[in-house]
Amino acid sequence: MIYVKISTKGRYALRMLIDLAGNQRDGYVSLRDISERQEISKKYLEQIVPIFNNSDILLTSRGFKGGYRLAKAPEDITVGEVLRLTEGSLAPVACLEHDPAQCDRSAFCPTLPVWKGLYDNITTYLDGITLQELIDNGHGGADNYII
C-alpha cells in the first residue's frame, strides 16, 4: 500500500485555517483562542503562521484586537492549496516534482504512468475540497474526508 504522509505541520495548519474560517465573523482571531479551541500549542501555531506570509490566504493585524483572519473566503481556499504551502510538493515520487518530469528515465520509465495517475488523483481530490466544505460537513468534515 502507498501512503502519502502529511506532516503534523500540514494537519495543524489546516485545522488552524478551518478554525479561523469558522470564527472570524467578529474580526481578527488570536492564536491563543485558536490554540485553546484546537488544543494545539500556541508556540506551534506561531511556527505555522510564517508559512502563509507570502500567500493570499492569511491576513495579520497587530495590536489590540489584533490577530489573524482569512484573506479570502473559505470556499476559495482548497485543502490542496494549504497542503502545498505546508508540505511542498504532494508528488508521490521525486521525478514528478517538476513538470515535465526531470528524470533521465522518464521517456521510457514503465512505472511513471502509475505515479502520474496517483499524483493526479491526489491533487484532484485535495483541490476539490474547500475549507467551507469542511466547515459545512461539521467536525472538520470527519464524516466525509480523512485528513
pLDDT at 12 over 90: yes
- Pick the closest to residue 69 from 29, 35, 38, 42 (CA basis): 29
Cβ–Cβ < 8 Å for 134, 140: yes
Encode pLDDT of 28-49 as tens digits.
999 999 999 999 999 999 999 9
pTM for this structure?
A: 0.84
Cβ–Cβ < 8 Å for 131, 18: yes
Cell numbers for 49: 503562521
Question: Which domains does the chain show, CATH number per domain?
Answer: 8-140 (1.10.10.10)
